[in-house]
Structure formats: C-alpha cells, structure tokens
Copies of this chain bind each other. A is one copy, B any other.
Amino acid sequence: MPSEHTITRRVQFYETDAAGIVHFSWFFRYMEEAEHALWREAGLSIHPENSDIGWPRVAAACEFHRALKFEQEFDVTIRVTEITNRTMSYVCEMTQDGRKIATGTLKIACVSKLPDGSMKSVEIPEDIAMRFKPSDSRTSPLVPPASAKASAGKPASS
C-alpha cells in the first residue's frame, strides 16, 4: 500500500528546446511517468485494456526552480496526498542531486465512459482506493534535504 514512489530519469534530446533546456511541458509528463510507476508498484495499471473507467486529469500545476539540460539525470518523487470518493491528488518533486528542480501537483478524477464517448464522474472502485495510502505532505517532507542524499562536491546542474 504505497503512498509515494520515485523514478530516476535522464533528459532525452527531444525533450529540450531551442533555449537549450527541457521544455516546461515535459515536467507534466515526468509527473505522469512517476504516477503510473506508483500505480504499477501498487499492483495496478491506470489504463488496463478494455477497462470501462478512466482517469482524466482535473488539474495540474508546476513551479519551475532550475533548468534541466540534455543527458542530465534527475529524480521524480510522487506522493498521494488525498483520496476522495471521486478524485485522487498528488504532490510531485523533481530533484537533481537533492536540489529542487520543480514542484508540482496533479488531481485526477475517476470517470466512466458513456456509449456516446463522453465521460461521467463516478466513485473510485474500492479495490483501487485501498491500494494507496494518502500521506500528508505537511508533516513529512517529500524529498530529504540535499545534505542527506547528494554526494559532496558534485557541481550544480546549471
């Protein structure tokens, strides 16, 4: 019953833009990669074939603190912060050697697909909700301070 998950990721060339850094739209995809890895760790797929429910995003936000460049490695840590009857919320931190790169949030809703192709909000199935344990990010830091993780002497990224 995980509440958080961390993936390590390397910047691909096609994720950079003409400013020489990762385009901001990619940070939302990094968050989603970590979210789906969290679901797999919980024994689930967020999009199994032929499922009649789906999980569209209701809201997404990100603050960008430092730039990432081609081939740099970084971590993406996502944590479930709240599960209501019909929505799940996450907070996400992207770090490089323990230094904050970006911080984001995602809120998703459980929907049922109607025959006409539209979507209708439904309650989260119990066997999915029970797989996650929401964790209040105010009481425990999402990412340990840099001093606890980064090796000394490694140069900053940008």
Q: Which A residues contact B (CB, under 8 angstroms)?
A: 12-14, 16-21, 23-26, 28-29, 32-33, 36, 40, 45-47, 49-50, 54, 56-64, 67, 69-71, 117-119, 156, 158
Q: Is the CB of B18 within 8 A of A70?
A: yes
Q: Is the CB of A12 within 8 A of B24?
A: no
CB < 8 Å neighbour of A69 from B16, B33, B49, B71: B49
Q: Give the docked Cα–Cα distance between A25 and B33 (Å).
A: 12
Q: Is the CB of B119 within 8 A of A24?
A: no
Q: Is the CB of B56 within 8 A of A64?
A: yes
CB < 8 Å neighbour of A158 from B19, B54, B117: B117
CB < 8 Å neighbour of A16 from B18, B45, B50, B61: B18
Q: Is the CB of A28 within 8 A of B24?
A: yes
Q: Give the docked Cα–Cα distance between A69 and B50 (Å).
A: 13
- Given known A-B contacts A25-B29, A28-B24, A50 and B117 have beta carbons under 8 A apart: yes
In the complex, residue of chain B having the shortest beta-carbon distance to the beta carbon of A35:
B13
Q: How many copies does the complex hold?
A: 4
Q: Is the CB of B36 within 8 A of A19?
A: no
Q: Is the CB of A64 within 8 A of B59?
A: yes
Given A12-B32, A13-B23, A16-B18, 8 extra CB contacts under 8 A:
A13-B36, A14-B17, A17-B18, A18-B21, A50-B117, A56-B67, A59-B64, A61-B61
Q: Is the CB of A117 within 8 A of B49?
A: yes
A119: min CB distance to chain B, Å: 6
Q: Is the CB of A59 within 8 A of B61?
A: yes
- Contact residues in B for A21 (Cβ distance below 8 Å): 18, 56
